[in-house]
Structure 1
Amino acid sequence: MPTDCINYQNSGYFTALIRDYLDQKQNIQSLYHRFPTLENFKGQMEEKQANFDNAHREVLVSVLQKQYEKISTSDLTKKNIESLARPNTFTITTGHQLNLFTGPLYFLYKIISTINLSKELKAKYPTCDFVPIYWMATEDHDFEEINYFIFKGKKFRWNTSSSGPVGRLSTKGLEDVFEVFAKEIGSSNAANEIKTLFEESYLHHDTLAGATRFLANSLFKEYGLIILDADTPKLKQEFIPYIKEELLFQNANQLVLETTKQLHEYSIQVNPREINLFYIEDDLRERIILENGFYKVNNTKIQFSETEILSELENHPEKFSPNVILRPLYQEVILPNLCYIGGGGEIAYWLELKSLFEASKITFPILLLRNSALLITEKQAKKTDKLMLEWKDLFSKQNDLLNERTRTLSEFPIDLSIQKEQLKNQFSYLYSVAHQTDKSFSGAVKAQEAKQIKGLENLEKRLLKAQKRKLHDELERIAELQNELFPNQSLQERQSNFSEFYLENGTKLIPILIHKLKPLETNFDIIGVS
């Protein structure tokens, strides 16, 4: 297996903002609090401990114990829930949508990053406890993003509709998905385990939130993972002062807009609204907008005066849902959290929020880019070696990879750069002659130079094309290998479902990932699997 390593910055799959964050570029240092190093967590713990209201701990523990009442979980998870009542216990949090059957592979990588970072922190700071949290995005409504998963290139879609928070959505109709999927994966022992997991998760639970909790608990309970559904009145009660502030003063909008001005050279991930709240019921999730002194629920006839909406907030806080701008604040208010672990897009929008946290007097968490990995079988590793490829080659765009390999494998140079340089030297003499005689002659010289350079470039392209035909078989093997590892010319972790690899590795899969993924390293992990 190739031994070279590729870091996130050189992988070609991260934005300029994330690359600059990882490189700790000076121009964005004001947008985050502390960079993720083991040493920096000491200051983060001290600050969070001083600023966090321990009354939130009692509420959090009671909510979690209620949510776990009907779930069989590990002693470690139970112990972790109880430990949250103590002031020396902190959380490490990741969040994710309720993708059907976990969706793409990086669902696993996010959670494993939180588990492994919690372990590393415990080893570094043994007098404290660190609890991995998976925050379920139960209040989201982007159902089209989560209603499918991909197994070996085939999409399995849940054909239903959703108009409210997805966590409250009925699992009715997933019997059809199960039936089709069960036929696809065969009847090996691992396949039967996968089918049982799907069936017990989705066919034995009434809501998508319940199904997702069962699924994540089944996969990660032995590692002490706590799964939190924050769509609950008791936790929303803790957030009332911040919801009230948003309704009355709309400060988040201006604060975030000011921050985005500092990000003008990058693509902005999210833009704030005037009011960054939704009004939700089981089948409703719509923005709250302020018009002519009334708070209106968009696309409905529901509206409130200021007095009425504040009364509604006090009596039914569960009907107020923070959007992408306020959700991170909600998380940090109710959790004794030190670090948020997310993908590149998530880290990008968190970088817009520090001024909002400062105005709210809530400690801004350390931001850590989740682990990324490429799972490769022994057969694929041998192919990679045989084709004399390095990992950086496989991460290249396919056309660039094939062109480069053609040049490398060709028995003569295809690059005509030397000839182009010689031609330019010849024309430099003609330019000097033109300047000494008739300056109007320079235009003719320039046109002739461009024509001949263009001719060499066309010859170079034709030569490359001819060599690609000659090397067709080897180039085809390279393309096939890359297509296996990068489905649809995208990262494997953004396409493939874990079940594809569980089918071959069974219960060994997650322990392999737990062992290999190192959350504080910024290398793209290449992990050998069966």
Structure 2
Amino acid sequence: MNVVQEPMAVSQPLSDIYMRDYNKVKELYDYNPQTEEAWHERAAWLDQTHALRADRKALVSRLRSYNAERNPHEAVARSLDDLEDVNTLVVVGGQQSGLFTGPLLVIYKALTIIQTARMAEKRLNRKVVPVFWIAGEDHDFDEVNHTYVLSSDLQVQKIKIDHPTGERSMVSQVQVPMDAWQQAIEELSAKLPNTEFKEDFFAKLQSYAEVSCNLSDYYARIFGMLFGEAGLVLLDSADSALRSIEVPMFERIIEDNDPLEEALMQSLQDVQDHQYNSQADVTAGNANLFYIHEGTRLLLHKVDGRFTDRKQQVSFSRDELQRLVQEHPERFSNNVLTRPLMQDYLFPVLSTVLGTGEIAYWALTHRAFHAFGFRMPIIVPRMSFTFVEGTVQKQMTKYELSFADVVERFTVRKEAWLQAQDTLGLDVHFEDMKQQLNELYEPILEKLAQIQAGLGKLGETNKQKVLEQVEFLQHRAANDLAKQNETALRHWERIHSSILPLGKPQERVYNIFAYLNRYGLAWISSLYEIPLDLSGQHRVISLPQ
């Protein structure tokens, strides 16, 4: 497996600077992941602040129950035994529960979590457990209900399941019927070629569907298949059994909501002072807390001393909200800016693995961590890859295309190549012909206009019709030339569809199962051989044919 660093533009300027030149944004974060001392400093701080966090035994007990059902591997059980020890630390990261695990970047995030935990364990000479946080409390079902594969006819194909009710519920509470699972599995199977691994994989997908009632459960079981042997512990943030453990932090978020708001607003100003845009909604009066009302997740705001939603379906005083969180913790849910605080309350987080969008919006939580007595954990950028299969690499070599050519100037290179196939120079001849026609028409049009203005206009119309016929012939010749090179143009299309599907990085579109179907489950283990890169720079990985 050949691994080469190849730059790819990062869509978030703040994240780009964080990864390339940390010192320029160090005021927005607490630790530089690329320095040795940061890891020891963070571990020492965690050792001194056990009282800030949740009951470890209660947390591990719930995680054992959750993982025993969905992620029942001996390595996971050992991780949980280790986590019960007060000296054990955690590397955590998470994602929404996408269909069939969603895009490849989710796989890379899990891989980075595992690799970072292994690195930290050696560096600190103590146990460090990898944890994956499934964001099942998110309510945007349309973000997670689909995935993409490249079909045999080189089309990017979408596989999707529909929301059964359309209600704005947490993803982990949306009940997916068996026929929806079945249809999605059959669609995925139809779009992938038959291989020696296919039957086994799809038997597993079928068996998981039979015992999964929602996307998060299904996602967890697939993740267990992929990463359980590496000891990756899974958690669903919507797990109602976790809520009783989270109550003290919810109480703090309610009680200290004004200082929380002030800290978030100050961090927003810090980000803007560094000339960056906010990557999350920080607005005055936002309580940064959701309340579940009749199955719907409502974002709370502070209005005239009360907590209410935008449509005022619910309204609570601070004391009423405190009583509710004690009596019905399952009705509460974090938003994107309080989830990092809850994560640090639950776990002794040595490091968190984030994508570029997350790195940018986590800067908004910097002062909130400090306001609550915490420190922001070490942020490790998720590793970023593009897989280039042997056939695609061979075609790139044939057409003398670099990775940068495909990503930055593909259309220009493709058009230049096609023009080079015109050995007769037809395009040049056609352009010369059109120029000569314009020159021939010009004097006669002037004379026609002198006879009568209308006759001059008729002559201009006549010229345009002649030029249109020439252009028609030119396009026809170009189309026929393209047909003569149809096979080669399919190669070009395959290169582009493989590396930049839908004009986006491969990792943000394609699903892992096309690769698993071709290379088998053991292929996941081979990914651990890729060296950990704490800078998160993009790399290209060459795969066999």
TM-score, scaled to structure 1: 0.81
Alignment deviations for residues 327-374 of structure 1 (CA, whole Å, 9 cap, x no partner): 111111111111111111011111221111111111211111111111
- Would you say 1:286 and 2:298 are equivalent positions? yes
Amino acid across the alignment from 1:146: V
**C-alpha displacement of 1:480:** 4.2
**Residue 183 (structure 2) pairs with residue 171 (structure 1):** no
In structure 1, distance between residues paired with 2:3 and 2:345? 44
Name the structure 2 match of 1:314.
326
- What letter corresponds to residue 262 of structure 2 in structure 1? N
Give per-residue Cα distances to partners, 1:147-188, cap 9 Å, x unaligned. 011122211110123421111221213233223333443554
Shift of 1:508: 2.7
- Verify the 8 A CA contact 1:202 1:208 in the aligned structure 2: no
Query: 1:2 touches 1:385 (CA, 8 Å); kept in 2?
Result: no
Measure, in 1, the Cα distance between the counterparts of 2:4 and 2:416: 18
Cα pair 2:92 2:132 within 8 Å, conserved:
yes
Shifted more, 299-308 versus 133-142: the winner is 299-308
AA aligned to 1:5 is Q
Structure 1 residues 528, 13: closer, same or farther in 2, change over 3 A?
same
Secondary structure (helix, strand or coil) at the match of 1:122 reads: helix
Q: Shift of residue 525 of structure 1?
A: 2.3
Whether 2:246 is the aligned partner of 1:236: answer yes
Match of 1:277 among 259, 273, 289: 289
Aligned partner of 1:377 among 386, 389, 394: 389
Q: CA 1:394 to 1:179, structure 2 compared with 1: closer, same or farther past 3 Å?
A: closer
1:215 has 2:215 as partner: no
- The residue number in structure 1 matching 2:57 is 58
Query: How has the CA–CA distance of structure 1 residues 212 and 469 changed in structure 2, closer, same or farther, with 3 Å as cutoff?
Result: closer
Residue type at the aligned position of 1:396:
E
Among 190, 200, 204, the alignment partner of 1:197 is 204
- Give the Å deviation of 1:270: 0.7
- Hey, what's the Cα distance between the residues in 2 that align with 1:243 and 1:210? 28
Which deviates more from structure 2 when the two are superposed, residues 103-112 or residues 188-197? 188-197
The aligned counterpart of 1:261 is 272
**Structure 1 residue 34 corresponds to structure 2 residue 31:** yes
236-245 or 353-362, larger mean C-alpha shift: 236-245
- Look up the match of 2:134: 136
What residue number does 1:342 align with? Answer: 354
Structure 2 Cα separation of the partners of residues 410 and 26 of structure 1: 53
What residue is the counterpart of 2:342 in the other structure? 330
Return the offset for 1:470: 13
Query: Identity rate of aligned residues, in percent?
Result: 23
Q: Provide the secondary structure at the position in 2 that maps to 1:244.
A: helix
**More moved, 164-173 vs 99-108:** 164-173
Give the Å deviation of 1:246. 4.5
After superposition, the C-alpha distances for 1:210-251 in whole angstroms (9 at most, x for unaligned) are 222211111110000000123322332241343223446543
Instruction: Give the C-alpha shift of residue 207 in structure 1.
Output: 2.8
1 CA distance for matches of 2:391 and 2:504? Answer: 21
User: By how many angstroms is 1:406 displaced?
Assistant: 8.8
Kindly tell me: are residues 238 and 194 of structure 1, through their superposed partners in 2, closer, same or farther at Cα, counting changes over 3 Å?
farther
Q: d(CA) in 2 for partners of 1:194 and 1:69?
A: 21
Q: Could you say what the CA RMSD is over the residues aligned between the two structures, in angstroms?
A: 2.9
2:484 paired with 1:487: no
- 2 and 51 in structure 1: CA distance in 2 versus 1, 3 angstrom threshold: closer
* 8 Å Cα contact 1:165-1:282 kept in structure 2: no
CA distance in 1, matches of 2:514, 2:526: 15
- Contact 1:255–1:356 at 8 Å: present in 2 too? no
Return the alpha-carbon distance in structure 1 between the equivalents of residues 205 and 114 of structure 2.
23
C-alpha distance 187-395 of structure 1, shift in aligned 2 (>3 A):
closer
Aligned to 1:5: 5
Aligned to 1:245: 255
Further displaced range: 105-114 or 160-169: 160-169
Deviation at residue 29 of structure 1 after TM alignment: 1.5
Report if the CA contact (8 A) 2:380-2:536 is conserved. Answer: no
Q: Answer whether contact 2:30 2:376 (CA < 8 A) is retained.
A: yes
| CA deviations over 1:114-172 (Å, ceiling 9, x no partner) | 1111111222222x111111001011011111001112221111012342111122121
3-state DSSP of counterpart to 1:192: helix
- The reply to whether residue 525 of structure 1 matches residue 536 of structure 2 is no
Distance 1:114 1:72, change over 3 A: closer
Measured in 2, the distance between the counterparts of 1:408 and 1:38 equals 51
| Partner SS for 1:515 | coil
- Does the Cα contact within 8 Å between 2:272 and 2:278 map onto a contact in 1? no
Q: Report the secondary structure of 1:62's partner residue.
A: helix
Give the aligned partner of residue 46 of structure 1.
Answer: 44
Aligned residue number for residue 146 of structure 2:
148
Aligned counterpart, 1:88: 87
* Aligned equivalent of 1:429: none
Deviation at 1:21, TM superposition (A): 1.1
CA–CA separation in structure 2 for the residues paired with 1:244 and 1:70: 33
Specify the code of the residue in structure 1 equivalent to 2:278. Answer: I
* Cα distance in 2 for residues equivalent to 1:492 and 1:72: 28
Q: How many angstroms apart in 1 are the aligned matches of 2:309 and 2:252?
A: 19
Is 1:97–1:138's contact at 8 Å kept on the other side of the alignment? Answer: yes
- The 5 Å alignment of 1:369-448 reads 369-402=381-414
Relative to structure 2, which stretch is displaced further, 159-168 or 363-372?
Answer: 159-168
Residues 1:260 and 1:509: Cα distance change in structure 2 (over 3 Å): same
**Structure-2 separation of matches of 1:29 and 1:503:** 43
C-alpha change, 1:72 and 1:98, in structure 2 (3 Å) is closer
- For residue 290 of structure 2, give the secondary structure of its aligned residue in structure 1: strand
Residue in 2 that maps onto 1:459: none
Is contact 2:117-2:128 (8 Å) kept?
yes
8 A contact 1:171–1:203 mirrored in 2: no
Name the CA shift for 1:110/1:162 in 2 (closer, same or farther; >3 Å): farther
| Equivalent position SS for 2:139 | coil
CA contact under 8 A between 2:254 and 2:321: conserved in structure 1?
Answer: no
Deviation at 1:71, TM superposition (A): 3.9
SS in 2 for 1:497: coil
Matched-pair contact (CA < 8 Å) for 1:190–1:504: yes
* Whole-angstrom CA distance in 2 between matches of 1:88 and 1:408: 66
1:41 counterpart SS class = helix
SS at match of 1:86: coil
Q: CA deviation at 1:73?
A: 1.7
8 A contact 1:2–1:391 mirrored in 2: no
Question: Which secondary structure state, in structure 2, belongs to the residue aligned with residue 189 of structure 1?
Answer: coil
Q: What is the aligned partner in structure 2 of residue 180 from structure 1? A: 187
Q: CA deviation at 1:63?
A: 1.6
Question: For 1:340 and 1:527, how far apart are their aligned partners in 2?
Answer: 24
Label 1:385 to 1:239 Cα distance change in 2 as closer, same or farther (>3 A): same
The match for 1:157 among 156, 160, 165 is 160
Distance 2:145 2:120 in 1: 35
